[in-house]
């Protein structure tokens, strides 16, 4: 059974609101924000050890690509249908700019309009030869047609599904990987794999959002990898308060002005209610 996420106390919510009310702020979000949408995270209390696909492995080995797409096709049957949760909705309602490490696109689906998808989007597929971008749903249809022998669906919220749309399951040896329709090249999800660099323009835009903010709110990220940790370090070095809402410890807790160990959906919903109340400070 999943570990129950603690609810924030009224005092914790009030402390967050005191730091955010009347100030410009930006949210940095991670996989923990999407767990309430049925997408497991990598490092939360209920996460089990996994080995995500490595960029070099995907590029160099056809067998690795076959395994990835075989699992991804099955995982996408649930991943592609995941809805935004109250945490996404709360941030969208507050109109805050967002830097997200997630590839699920749920911030935009919830209505947020200023989003840096730091690691890309699972809903796009890129050809490594000609650069053509196509919708993931189109590729899903092609994969399904080419592999009618692969049946079943991985239920949302189970450990077998991964935050990148992959799935921790056995793959069929006879799986057919389809090529780019334009040039016949190798297709890759338009996301940043482990071992791959985040595009410089996304990093620069993220730093600009942090520099323009008076508070950085981290939600649902352990900040274990440098991709997200660097923004918390950058904010703290500049004297910008860092608020962390996460179920479990993070790598930046010592940098934070405030840490709240609680569920992100519950906390952000409460913060939204407090910030939008008629008598809210700075409203």
Report all structural domains of the chain as residue ranges with CATH numbers, in order of start.
Answer: 10-275 (3.40.50.1220)
Q: How many residues does the chain have?
A: 283
Q: How far apart are CA 271 and CA 266, in angstroms?
A: 9
Would you say 138 is a known binding-site residue?
Answer: no
137 assigned to a ligand binding site: no
Q: 192 near 120, Cβ under 8 Å?
A: yes
Q: For position 44, what pLDDT does the model report?
A: 47
Residue of 43 and 107 predicted with greater confidence: 107
Which amino acids are annotated catalytic?
119
Q: Is there a binding annotation on residue 180?
A: yes
Q: Which has the minimum average pLDDT: 1-10, 59-68, 190-199? A: 1-10
What percent of the chain has a predicted confidence (pLDDT) above 70?
Answer: 86
Q: Are 130 and 180 in contact (CB under 8 A)?
A: yes
Mean pLDDT of 241-257: 97
pLDDT (average), residues 225-244: 97
Is residue 130 a known part of a binding site?
yes
- Residue-level pLDDT at 50: 59
Question: Across-strand partners of 258?
Answer: 243
Which helix (H) or strand (E) segment holds residue 245: the answer is: strand 242-245
Instruction: Note whether 157 and 40 are within 8 A (CB).
Output: yes
């Amino acid at each position: 059974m999943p570990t129950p996420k603690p609810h924030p106390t009224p005092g914790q919510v009030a402390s967050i609101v005191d730091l955010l009310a009347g100030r410009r702020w930006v949210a940095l979000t991670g996989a923990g924000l999407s767990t309430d949408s049925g997408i497991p995270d990598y490092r939360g209390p209920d996460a089990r050890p996994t080995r995500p696909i490595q960029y070099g492995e995907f590029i160099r080995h056809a067998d690795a690509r076959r395994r990835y797409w075989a699992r991804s096709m099955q995982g996408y049957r649930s991943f592609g249908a995941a809805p935004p949760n109250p945490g996404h909705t709360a941030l969208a309602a507050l109109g805050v700019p967002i830097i997200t490490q997630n590839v699920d696109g749920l911030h935009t689906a919830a209505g947020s309009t200023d989003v840096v998808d730091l690691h890309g989007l699972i809903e796009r597929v890129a050809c490594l030869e000609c650069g053509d971008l196509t919708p993931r749903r189109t590729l899903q249809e092609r994969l399904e047609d080419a592999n009618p022998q692969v049946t079943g669906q991985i239920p949302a919220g189970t450990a077998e599904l991964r935050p990148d749309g992959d799935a921790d399951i056995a793959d069929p040896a006879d799986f057919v990987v389809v090529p780019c329709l334009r040039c016949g090249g190798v297709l890759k999800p338009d996301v940043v794999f482990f071992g791959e660099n985040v595009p410089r323009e996304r990093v620069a835009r993220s730093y600009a959002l942090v520099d323009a903010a008076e508070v950085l709110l981290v939600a649902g990220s352990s900040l274990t990898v440098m991709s997200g940790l660097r923004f918390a370090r950058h904010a703290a070095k500049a004297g910008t308060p860092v608020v962390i809402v996460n179920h479990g410890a993070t790598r930046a807790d010592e940098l934070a002005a405030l840490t709240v160990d609680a569920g992100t959906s519950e906390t952000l919903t409460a913060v939204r209610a407090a910030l939008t109340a008629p008598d809210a400070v700075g409203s």
